[in-house]
Structure 1
Amino acid sequence: MSMLRAIPFVLASLVAVPAAATEIQEVTSPSGIKAWLVEDHSIPFTALNIAFRGGASLDAPGKRGAINLMTHTLEEGAGDMDATAFAAATEDLGAEISFDVGDDALSVSSKLLSDNRDEGAALIAAALSTPRFDEDAVARVKGQVLAIIKSEDTDPNAIASKAMAKAIWGSNPYGSSINGTLESVSPLGSQDMIEAKNRVIARDRVIVGAAGDITPQELGQLVDRILADVPATATAPLPGPAEFQSQGGTEQIDWDSPQTVISFAQPGLSMDDPDYFAAFVADQIIGGGGFSSRLMEEIREKRGLTYGVYTSLVNGVYGASWQGGMSSSNNTASEAVELVKQEWARMADGVSEKELNDAKTYLTGEYPLRWDGNSKIAGILTGMQLIGLPIDYPDGRNARIEAVTADDIARIAQERMDPEKLQFVLVGRPE
């Protein structure tokens, strides 16, 4: 089980689809379910990604963490197979089936060999339609989640992440960890898992992406078989937009450590915002570009105040933020914070042609590297549909980056990057 996040499902990889990608086909199954497909018959397996909109944001009141727990219990047996039998059946087929969830979607990722694809699909169908949720399995997975929650309470990075999420998203599900709390998760049992499943897993919420050794007709039939016994509608409505709550400021959380963990954030830009790509390039210059970024140069290289500092545009389906972070010694943390503010303000003065060209070269050059396997392709196709990108989005992505000018960056910095509106969270004992 992965460490699950308090921030939205990150869709940054969606800006990494190569311009020269294999053609994306839209498929409609016999029952009317839409899917996106990239055919590749060179290797006899298919990567299939099925997502259900809403994800952990659909937790019932007072039961934060239930959908996360339910998701990680789906693989603990289905139909007449207990957890051991389900795992053995998957292994016997040479298949891989995994379940994950964020606040934007619950996803099922699979790799199915062509020779026994139907048998693998039957296992996915059973997990989605007739999961067992045996009490012993629920208790075992719940113990793992509770251990994660306890470990987060002693991890300054997790503490900072949770505090930042609450500061910028408030009571919205984005503002809390999908793991839930000890108080919300401890009472959960099998009946809660059934209710959580019905809140999110339904055909009216489904998104499908596939890549590999399968034709459009075969994919349509496969999807219908998998979803045949999944309920038509979910019991919980989809959430509305998340409103960014913070107007700027600093929250300090006392933590006995020689280092202070520093997180910062401001409102972001949705991917359909006309200024998104200007901000995307600006982010690469100020903090997304590793050792070549301005923040790294000023805070690490010139002054040695941190081992590393980063920024990133964090795009969820329901809200977007522009976040960053670093760690610094307690006696230098305040100076590091001030340098972030200074560099945030300095972006309004513009960027050099070298900075602009270097950022564009990197962002367009690394573009195809993200499209390097059927599993990644299937996930990206699902993510594109989730956030509402058009099917031809990859064709014009690099051109939109190349079109960004230094004037564009100066303008969006003046309009969108106010250092006084940055929200900071410091976990440690900064002097």
Structure 2
Amino acid sequence: MSGSAGFSLPIQVVEAAGLTAWLAEDHSVPVVSLSWSWPGGAALDPAGQEGAARLAAALMTEGAGDLDANAFADALRDEAIGLDFGAGRDEFEGGFRALAPALPQAVRLARLAMTEPRFAEADIARLRARAIASARQMLEGPRGRGSRAFWAAAYPDHPAGRPSGGTEESLAGLTEAQLRAPLTRHLRRNGGLRIAASGAITAAQLTQLLPQLFGALPEAPAEALPPLPDFRDFGTQVVPVAAPQSSVIFGQPGIAPRDPDWEAAQVMLRILAGGGFTARLTRSIREQRGLTYGIGAGLDSFYGQAVLVGSCATANARVSELLSVLREEWARMAANGPTSEEMDEAIAYLTGSQPLQFTDSRRIAATLLAMQRNDRPLDWLTRRPERLAAITRDHAASLAKRLLQPEGLSITVAGQPEGI
């Protein structure tokens, strides 16, 4: 993986016992990472039980089989194994990283966590208290209050608009049976299971590992996710929060990861709102006017779709000015697109920085999993530089005109803004 033009990540497809995994083999360091996921996550939490999937995932490593929470943690620590489970908005995930000699123990503990989690009463109480404290903390400042209000307004009456980590009320009411239910909904040998591996493991070793890790899980189809409705344009809303600054969250419908213009969108958005001081929003809002310390926006993908969403913070007295400049820059890009010089810089950056995404086995495994989720071909990464190079200024300008909606930006301001 040297040089942008010569970047490559050979991927093997490994099949065993009806299971399929993508493998990026690399023996330069004796570390193996495995990542896997099922569709669902918080999307399948029943109304009133928000946070059940995330709390259940956290409990899976709090003891399993004949190992209580302390013994399980000791077993992981003794072999330097990192094992975790999690639930996002539309995925339930698991994964581990281990030294190659500890791979059998990592497989044993991960299988035990998936098939015999203990869910001891004391562990439930401890992790529930931690989750409730986190939910409370989210609502203490403008940023958390604004984020919750933004998504609730964009997707009312849909799981995408609910806090995936739950609320104080929903978490407090969860019973052990309700916490075990997400495991029944997700942990299946088929049912949409995606698997990715990276590091010091051969295809032959992975072939033996797959049935050992997942073979004891039941066979059942995946539960269907509730269809994602269109993003609702809710205009501008203010969430009163007593604070010297306001948190601003802005967004609009995006394009799906499977859209042919996905990468052209990455280039155009790098120029408009990406990281670094060359982005238009940073120059006009931070550098020229000093309205914020940082501002950025990008495509947030879930449910097979994406929302173009960004955020920043500014003094209450300057919110109106910031929003005016934001809309002006949004409209200018929509009307005229990027310049040729901006295109050259953005494409060079995205091409040159690509290898930096693959500096360790865990990040590589996560990338392979995301590629499967988005139906990418095996050579997606290898051919990315040539696809980026083929994006013209006219193409990016046409996309900007199609995608950006300066009059349709939905904006949530949490704080005590003046003039709006």
The residue that corresponds to 1:216 in the other structure is 203
Contact kept? 1:58, 1:200, Cα under 8 Å: no
Which amino acid in structure 2 is aligned with residue 25 of structure 1? Q
Equivalent-residue separation in structure 2 for 1:187 and 1:422 (angstroms): 37
Equivalent-residue separation in structure 1 for 2:144 and 2:156 (angstroms): 17
Unaligned stretches of 5+ in structure 1? 1-16
The residue that corresponds to 1:258 in the other structure is 244
Equivalent-residue separation in structure 1 for 2:295 and 2:9 (angstroms): 36
2:8 counterpart SS class: coil
Contact kept? 1:252, 1:426, Cα under 8 Å: yes
Q: How far is 1:129 from its partner?
A: 0.7
Q: TM-score, normalised to structure 2's length?
A: 0.95
1:285 and 2:271 correspond: yes
Equivalent-residue separation in structure 2 for 1:24 and 1:350 (angstroms): 36
The answer to which of 275-284 and 69-78 deviates more is: 275-284
CA gap 1:185/1:120 in 2 versus in 1, 3 angstroms: same
Q: TM-score, normalised to structure 1's length?
A: 0.92
Equivalent-residue separation in structure 2 for 1:238 and 1:209 (angstroms): 23
CA gap 1:200/1:336 in 2 versus in 1, 3 angstroms: same
Equivalent-residue separation in structure 1 for 2:122 and 2:218 (angstroms): 26
Contact kept? 2:82, 2:97, Cα under 8 Å: yes
Q: How far is 1:19 from its partner?
A: 6.4
Q: How far is 1:18 from its partner?
A: 9.0
Q: How far is 1:167 from its partner?
A: 1.9
Deviations 1:325-368 (A, max 9, x none): 11111111011001111111101212211111111111111111
The residue that corresponds to 1:335 in the other structure is 321
Deviations 1:19-76 (A, max 9, x none): 62331000001x1100000111222221111212212211123211111110000010
Contact kept? 1:170, 1:245, Cα under 8 Å: no
Unaligned stretches of 5+ in structure 2? none
Which amino acid in structure 2 is aligned with residue 109 of structure 1? G
The residue that corresponds to 1:113 in the other structure is 99
Equivalent-residue separation in structure 2 for 1:57 and 1:318 (angstroms): 13
Which amino acid in structure 1 is aligned with residue 372 of structure 2? Q
The residue that corresponds to 1:314 in the other structure is 300
Equivalent-residue separation in structure 2 for 1:60 and 1:231 (angstroms): 22
Which amino acid in structure 2 is aligned with residue 249 of structure 1? G
The residue that corresponds to 2:85 in the other structure is 99
1:409 counterpart SS class: helix
The residue that corresponds to 1:180 in the other structure is 166
Contact kept? 1:167, 1:245, Cα under 8 Å: no
The residue that corresponds to 2:386 in the other structure is 399
Moved over 3 A (4+): none
The residue that corresponds to 1:190 in the other structure is 176
1:424 and 2:411 correspond: yes
Deviations 1:264-289 (A, max 9, x none): 00111112212222211110011113
The residue that corresponds to 2:361 in the other structure is 374
Deviations 1:162-199 (A, max 9, x none): 11111222222221111111221112132222212101
The residue that corresponds to 2:253 in the other structure is 267
In the TM superposition, 1:338-357 aligns within 5 A as 338-347=324-333, 348-357=335-344
Equivalent-residue separation in structure 1 for 2:338 and 2:105 (angstroms): 56
In the TM superposition, 1:14-413 aligns within 5 A as 20-29=7-16, 31-204=17-190, 205-233=192-220, 237-347=223-333, 348-413=335-400
Equivalent-residue separation in structure 2 for 1:116 and 1:411 (angstroms): 52
- Paired residues, what number? 413
Equivalent-residue separation in structure 1 for 2:281 and 2:73 (angstroms): 47
1:292 counterpart SS class: coil
Which amino acid in structure 1 is aligned with residue 209 of structure 2? L
Which amino acid in structure 2 is aligned with residue 192 of structure 1? Q
Which amino acid in structure 1 is aligned with residue 330 of structure 2? W
CA gap 1:350/1:61 in 2 versus in 1, 3 angstroms: closer
The residue that corresponds to 2:401 in the other structure is 414
1:394 counterpart SS class: coil
The answer to which of 107-116 and 375-384 deviates more is: 107-116
C-alpha RMSD of matched pairs (Å):
1.6
Between the aligned residues of both structures, percent identity stands at 34
